Amino acid sequence: MNTSAVPTLEIRPALEIRNVSLSFKGVKAISDLTFQVERQEICALIGPNGAGKSSLLNILNGVYVPDSGEIVFEGEHFRRMQPLEAARRGIGRGFQNNALFSGMSVLDNVIAGLSRHSRVTLLEEAFRFPRALKEERQFRERARDVLHLFDLDKHAGTIVGTLPYGVQKKVEIARAIVGTPRLLLLDEPLAGMNSEEKQAIAAVIARLNKELKLTIVLIEHDIGIVLKLAHHVVVLDYGRKLADGLPETIRDNPDVIAAYLGSDRKEVAA
C-alpha cells in the first residue's frame, strides 16, 4: 500500500506587493509597502490624497517603475511591466477621470479597449484584408457582449460625451474589462457621483467580481461603500501601510479612526 502523502496544489495570491518603494525627486510617495490580494477578492485602498494610492496603481500597470521591491502577479515576478505588457498579461485599468473619447460612440469606446490585443498589421487594416475584417467582427461582437453585461445596449450608438456622468463611468469600466483581464484596477470609480449613481456603480463592481470572478483593486474615499463592498482593505498614510485586514477590523482600528474617520466613527459603524 502506498502511504506517501498526496501532494497539494499551492494556491497563490493573485497579486503580491513586496517591499515596494517609490519616490519623486527625493520625496517618498510609497515606502516599503507590502501586502497581498487573494484571488477573486475586492481589495480597497483608502487614505487621504497624497497617500500613494494612485502611484501604486501606476506601478501595477507599468506606468511607474518602483525604486525598490517587486510585484508578483499570477506567480510571476516583476520589477516593472510596460503598460502594453500589463494589458496583455491580464491587468485592466480604469482611471480617476474618465479617459473616454467624448466624440466617439459608446460601442467604439469599448472596442478601443481591445486595441492592445490586435494582431493585424497596419497594412492589413488599411487594405481591409480578410484577417483584419475577421478581427474587427470579433472585437465588435465582444464589445456588444460587454455592453449587454452593463445594460448599455441602448446606448451603443450614442456619442459618449452626451451621456450622464454615471453612464460614462459604466462605459469606462466596460472598456477596462472588454479585454477579459484577470485583475482590474479602478481609481476612484465613484468620484463625482451622487448617492444613487454611487450605489449603481458599486453594484456593477460587485457583479463583475461575483459573475466574472474578477480580482479587483480599487481606490475609494467613500468609507461607507468600501466597508460594504470590499473583502479586504489596505489603509495608506503618507505612502506607508497603516492597516491591512477585513473591513470590520479596519472599521474598529483605533489608528484608522484617529487618522481618517474621526467624528464619523458612529456613522461608519452604523
Judge whether 167 lies within some domain. yes
Question: Do 218 and 141 reside in the same domain of the chain?
Answer: no
Judge whether 6 lies within some domain. no
pLDDT level of residue 10 (50, 70, 90 thresholds): low
Instruction: Name the grid cell of 268.
Output: 461608519
Question: Do 196 and 171 reside in the same domain of the chain?
Answer: no
Question: Do 37 and 80 reside in the same domain of the chain?
Answer: yes
Judge whether 65 lies within some domain. yes
187-241 pLDDT tens trace: 999 988 899 999 999 999 999 999 999 999 999 989 899 999 999 999 998 899 9
**At which of 128, 155, 180 does a domain end?**
180
Angle between helices 130-149 and 165-177 (to 10 degrees): 130
User: 74 near 66, Cβ under 8 Å?
Assistant: no
Question: Do 205 and 144 reside in the same domain of the chain?
Answer: no
Judge whether 7 lies within some domain. no
- As for how many domains the chain has, the answer is 2
**At which of 146, 180, 214 does a domain end?**
180
Q: What is the pLDDT of residue 138?
A: 92
Q: What is the pLDDT of residue 251?
A: 87
60-104 pLDDT tens trace: 999 999 999 999 999 999 887 888 888 888 999 988 777 899 999
Q: Does 2 score more than 60 pLDDT?
A: no
Question: What is the DSSP pairing of strand 215-219 with strand 183-187?
Answer: parallel
Higher pLDDT, 268 or 111: 111
Judge whether 123 lies within some domain. yes
Question: Do 23 and 156 reside in the same domain of the chain?
Answer: no
Query: CATH number for the domain including 202?
Result: 3.40.50.300
pLDDT level of residue 11 (50, 70, 90 thresholds): confident
Question: Do 86 and 129 reside in the same domain of the chain?
Answer: no
Judge whether 203 lies within some domain. yes
Question: Do 116 and 55 reside in the same domain of the chain?
Answer: no
Question: Do 224 and 258 reside in the same domain of the chain?
Answer: yes
Question: Do 76 and 107 reside in the same domain of the chain?
Answer: no
Q: What is the pLDDT of residue 7?
A: 55
Tell me the C-alpha distance between 27 and 2, whole Å: 60
67 burial type by CB count under 10 A (0-12 exposed, 13-18 middle, 19+ buried): middle
Question: In terms of residue numbers, what domain contains 81?
Answer: 13-90+181-270
Question: Do 194 and 264 reside in the same domain of the chain?
Answer: yes
Judge whether 156 lies within some domain. yes
162-197 pLDDT tens trace: 999 989 999 999 999 999 999 999 999 998 889 999
94-110 pLDDT tens trace: 887 778 999 999 999 99
Tell me the C-alpha distance between 215 and 266, whole Å: 30
> What is the average pLDDT across 14-43?
95
Edge-first strand listing for the sheet containing 183-187: 91-94, 183-187, 215-219, 42-46, 232-237, 240-245
Question: Do 186 and 67 reside in the same domain of the chain?
Answer: yes
Judge whether 3 lies within some domain. no
**At which of 119, 148, 180 does a domain end?**
180
Question: Do 173 and 226 reside in the same domain of the chain?
Answer: no
